């Protein structure tokens, strides 16, 4: 926790080549290809799905709401570095509290130095402090979501390799 921001993230060594993971993850509007609880992910602004400035609408049940409605968010891609296999995005709007305030995230995948069939995936986030929520609860929840999503990404990448 730094000042008015809370931060967290997940790092995993996974059994999948970095190139395959990057192929899926860097398609900013392609979450439906590897996140099962995302029902819709489409570009609503910008010139390409991998270009900074792209804004995506994400709809689904991956972040459940108390009222039973589907969650939705809009996120803007602010940086994409294919050579480093890294991108950063910010949340612009949504119906998920407390994520609708000051959320940013960076996703990075790199090849393992010991084994080319393995990769290191790092997914970090930062969020504005929320007076109505406990920082530990928010950080632990987001880290659990990221860990589950990384596992889904690895599964999708393995299915790409088989086809």
Domains detected in the chain: 5-162 (3.30.530.20)
Q: Which of 142, 148, 147 minimizes the C-alpha distance to 104?
A: 142
Q: Give the chain's mean pLDDT.
A: 89
The average pLDDT across 88-106 equals 84
Q: Using one digit for the tens of pLDDT, what is the confidence trace for 106-144?
A: 999 999 888 888 999 999 999 887 766 677 888 898 899
> What is the value of pTM for the model shown?
0.91
């Amino acid at each position: 926790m730094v000042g008015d921001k809370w931060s967290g993230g997940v790092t995993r060594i996974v059994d999948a080549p970095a190139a395959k993971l990057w192929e899926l993850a860097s398609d900013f509007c392609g979450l439906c290809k590897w996140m099962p609880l995302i029902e819709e992910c489409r570009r609503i602004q910008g010139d390409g799905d991998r270009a900074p400035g792209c804004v995506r609408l994400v709809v689904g049940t991956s972040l459940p709401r108390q009222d039973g409605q589907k969650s939705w968010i809009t996120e803007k891609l602010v940086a994409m570095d294919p050579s480093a296999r890294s991108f950063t995005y910010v949340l612009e709007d949504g119906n998920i509290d407390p994520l609708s305030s000051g959320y940013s995230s960076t996703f990075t995948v790199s090849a393992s130095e010991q084994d080319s069939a393995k990769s290191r995936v790092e997914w970090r986030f930062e969020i504005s402090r929320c007076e109505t929520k406990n920082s530990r609860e928010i950080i632990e929840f987001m880290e659990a979501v990221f860990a589950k999503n990384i596992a889904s990404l690895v599964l999708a990448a393995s299915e790409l390799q088989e086809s």
